Amino acid sequence: MNATSASPAEGTAPRRILVWDAPVRVFHWLMVACFAGAWLTADSESFRLLHVTLGYTMAGLVAFRLVWGVVGTRHARFASFVRGPAAVLAYLKSMLVGRPEHHVGHNPAGALAIVALLGLTAAVAATGWAQFEGLGGEWLEDAHEIAANLMLFVVGIHLAGVIVGSLAHRENLVAAMVTGSKHGAGGDGIARAWRALATVMLVAVLGFWWWQWQSAPAGGLMDGAAATEQRDGHGRGRGGRSGRGHDDDD
C-alpha cells in the first residue's frame, strides 16, 4: 500500500496532521543552507576551507538520510514514496489536466527529484573530496563542476515543482517543511516528531563545524591558502605525495 499517496478517506474531513518528522525537516534546511553556502564559495580561494566543510556536511547529511529513509517514519521511508516511471508520468498527467493526484507525503515527481539530488550530492562530495586531496587532475575538477551544475539544475526544477504543487493543491508546501504538518486524514499522520533525534543531528553538525574551525590554520575557515598548504604538508607526510597546488601544475 502506498501510504504516501493516500488521500483523505471518504467521509473523513481533512485536518492538520503531522507528516514530516523533525529529522527530515532539519535535514532539508541544512541541505539548503549548505548547498547555498557551498555554491557561493565555490570560486573563492579565500573561503576554500569553508566550502569544503559545507561539502563534507552535505555528505554526512546524505548518509543520514539514506539510513532514515529505511528506518524512519512512514513518510520519510523511500518505500513510501519512490515509484517507477509510470507513477511519475501519471502524476504529471494529472497535473496537466487540472486534476492533480493528492499525496500526503512526497509525490512521485518530487520523489524523483529527491533521489536525483541525493545521488548528485554524493557525486559532488566525492569529487570535491578527491580534488581537495589532490587525487586527480583537471578532469576531476570538471567532473565536480558538472555534478554541481546538474545539482543546481535539479534544485531549480524542484523549486518550480514546489511552487506549482502549492498552487495546484492550495497548500503551502514550503511552510509544511517548516512546521511538518499538512492537510490529510487523521490516519495518514505520524505519531512522533522525533525532535530529540533532530536535536542530536543539529548538535552533531554544529560540533563538526566547530571542530573544523578549531583545527583550521590560523586564518580559520576563511583562509583557503593556509588550508591548501596544510593539506599538502599532510600529503607529503603520508608518503611524499603533495597536493595539487600551483607548484606542480607543470
pLDDT tens, the chain, 250 aa long: 344 444 444 445 678 999 999 999 999 999 999 999 999 999 998 899 999 999 999 999 999 999 999 999 999 999 999 999 999 999 999 999 999 998 999 999 999 999 999 999 999 999 999 988 888 788 999 999 999 999 999 999 999 999 999 999 999 999 999 999 999 888 999 999 999 999 999 999 999 999 999 988 765 666 555 555 555 544 433 334 333 343 444 4
Please name each of the domains of the chain with its CATH number: 20-248 (1.20.950)
For residues 67 and 96, what is the distance between their CA atoms, to the nearest angstrom? 34
Residue with grid cell 578527491, as numbered in its chain: 130
Instruction: Supply 121's cell numbers.
Output: 550530492
Cα-based torsion angle of the residue sequence 223, 229, 235, 241 in order, rounded to the nearest 10 degrees: 140
Q: Which element (helix H / strand E) includes 93?
A: helix 85-96
For residues 30 and 178, what is the distance between their CA atoms, to the nearest angstrom? 12
Q: What pTM does this model have? A: 0.83
User: Residue 106: which of 116, 98, 96 has the closest Cα?
Assistant: 116
- Contact of 224 with 46, CB cutoff 8 Å: yes
What is the pLDDT at residue 135? Answer: 86
Give start and end residues of each alpha helix (H) in 98-137.
Answer: 108-132
For residues 147 and 99, what is the distance between their CA atoms, to the nearest angstrom? 35
